[in-house]
Structure 1
């Protein structure tokens, strides 16, 4: 593994860079931006790659300006932010649980957000802002409940996964019950929401996500080195001076909030949080949670999945959650086969 050590002139600053991981981050960022431009140009009114770039730089025609800036750009930005938030949250959960199956999907956080949103839709007949609020509250409440139930002189990864799987099963039953109680209109609306979709997203969905990510992403990235130390075990991390429980609590809280905000914006998009960290780790071949590569991989996966859905079925015909669910299910089967072959399950 090639690394680059950068030190200050007075020796007061030292930064260690993994060149392969840095290259992967740059390539993933370029892929996400390129896929975003292609997605902006995709739809009933197709716009070429060059025209999209020119329009974004302020040189487009009035019609193109409206289509790009008002209709399509907010959707793409929501996709990028949601994918990055889910990828980052998944990396945190997998690092803390020390399990490749640890993700908001498996541990029930997304299910809790879905329950909160469905309660607002079915019981209170709330609008989009109320649904988003209910989703955030449901995700936070579920995360707090899982953490408390898994606590026993600390939070062990194995116990966290088991409690999360149990919570997900219970919440799935609650979701199904709420759907049976809903009338036809609310049931259709709720089903579309819990599938996960970027359709109809505008600037009112973008700015809350920007604010959440601006606050929480630096917090999570700041936990990167302690999380890497914690992968060697709590005792070793304590010996290295890492405040294990405080780091675990801060990282989990930030990951839960990122998941809840992403779910509030686009619904519980399946499997992005599960697959993005593992794919990023396989590309970088670097130890540790690989937080930045996981975020960039999540953004790329979600944008490419939305583009594939639009190209295959037309705009808004198939929600992006269907595509990520199918691809994620295939990936999960492959991951289980690999883990079984390695003798870990």
Structure 2
């Protein structure tokens, strides 16, 4: 239920989240093979440092940190929405095959040598949205029942995974290595204005979700309960799924497949903050962004050589999720 002190709590949550994102971003920009302190980073941002330091901060680390933050925010918001729609905290973008569909489209583009935009990115968007349409069509009249979407999504995800493995098995060695590296998750930006496109996608998607937060609260009563209160459940579900596909496909196109962010972050924040989505949407945006930024720092600094960030999120997210699963008595939202 909405908190009676909602405006004050929202301000506190937003301020805390922004501080967390800012601190994570500063750590991300300062960390790396060439260690930089805060003074050097500040001077480089304003162009007062050595040219090499300015290049490292402005052209390498800052875009990478921003990309990691946007990816984490998009994945966390996607997981939050799917957990509401299915009323199951095990739901995330992968459970409905959204990430898998985007992965199929992106792998097609990579193996065919298409340019990143509109080739690979367009393929990812088409794949993600295509899987959403397929899931809705196969679920049919059961779309208002979470079991129909859940089971259909699992099958669609398995099918997409099989297609990806099939395509990789037929690819030349050089393309195979590139595709495998992309599949494990990375934050190496291709040339162009793709970071700005992803920023517009995730920020706009987050704004729409914040506007729909009261509707998400009503959906917690169950789809039949929401129908009784006059909510057009089928239209709302379709809109939310398309919105999730839009954000997640953008993340997958640029960063590859990164798991567990949309699973763990929304659940932890729900345990801490409650179930008011007017608070959870901005909290997930900031929490997911900061979490993936810190995971990227670990991927770049802890091992002897850089590893894919998807490996780090899995190593952290899987044990943490198991702990949460053991500690929770009730998993229905």
Determine if contact 1:209/1:262 at 8 Å carries over to the other structure: yes
Q: What CA deviation, in whole Å up to 9, does each residue of 1:6-29 have, x standing for no partner?
A: xxxxxxxxxx4262x543432232
Determine if contact 2:32/2:300 at 8 Å carries over to the other structure: yes
Count of aligned residue pairs for this structure pair: 330
Candidates 295, 305, 310, aligned match of 2:295: 305
For residue 125 of structure 1, what is the aligned residue in structure 2? 113
For residue 103 of structure 2, what is the aligned residue in structure 1? 114
For residue 249 of structure 1, what is the aligned residue in structure 2? 238
Higher relative contact order (CA 8 A, sep 6+): 2
* Match runs of 1:1-345 below 5 Å: 3=3, 16-17=6-7, 19=9, 22-57=11-46, 59-122=48-111, 124-129=112-117, 130-152=119-141, 154-200=143-189, 204-288=193-277, 290-313=280-303, 317-338=306-327, 341-342=329-330
Determine if contact 1:112/1:139 at 8 Å carries over to the other structure: yes
Q: Distance in 1 between matches of 2:179 and 2:2?
A: 49
For residue 12 of structure 1, what is the aligned residue in structure 2? none
Pair 1:314–1:343, CA change in 2 (3 A): closer
Determine if contact 2:142/2:148 at 8 Å carries over to the other structure: no
**How much does 1:4 deviate?**
5.7
**How much does 1:237 deviate?**
2.1
Judge which range, 290-299 or 152-161, deviates more. Answer: 152-161
**How much does 1:257 deviate?**
0.5
Q: Distance in 2 between matches of 1:343 and 1:295?
A: 23
Q: Distance in 2 between matches of 1:216 and 1:29?
A: 18
Determine if contact 1:272/1:328 at 8 Å carries over to the other structure: yes
Q: What CA deviation, in whole Å up to 9, does each residue of 1:19-64 have, x standing for no partner?
A: 2x54343223211111111111222222112332343355444333
Aligned-partner SS, 1:297:
helix
Aligned-partner SS, 2:302:
helix
Moved over 4 A (4+): 1-5, 200-203, 341-344
Pair 1:175–1:335, CA change in 2 (3 A): farther
Q: Distance in 2 between matches of 1:121 and 1:2?
A: 46
- Aligned Cα root-mean-square deviation (Å): 2.3
Judge which range, 24-33 or 267-276, deviates more. Answer: 24-33
**How much does 1:249 deviate?**
1.7
Pair 1:65–1:48, CA change in 2 (3 A): same
- TM score, norm. by length of structure 2: 0.91
**How much does 1:147 deviate?**
1.9
Determine if contact 2:136/2:143 at 8 Å carries over to the other structure: no
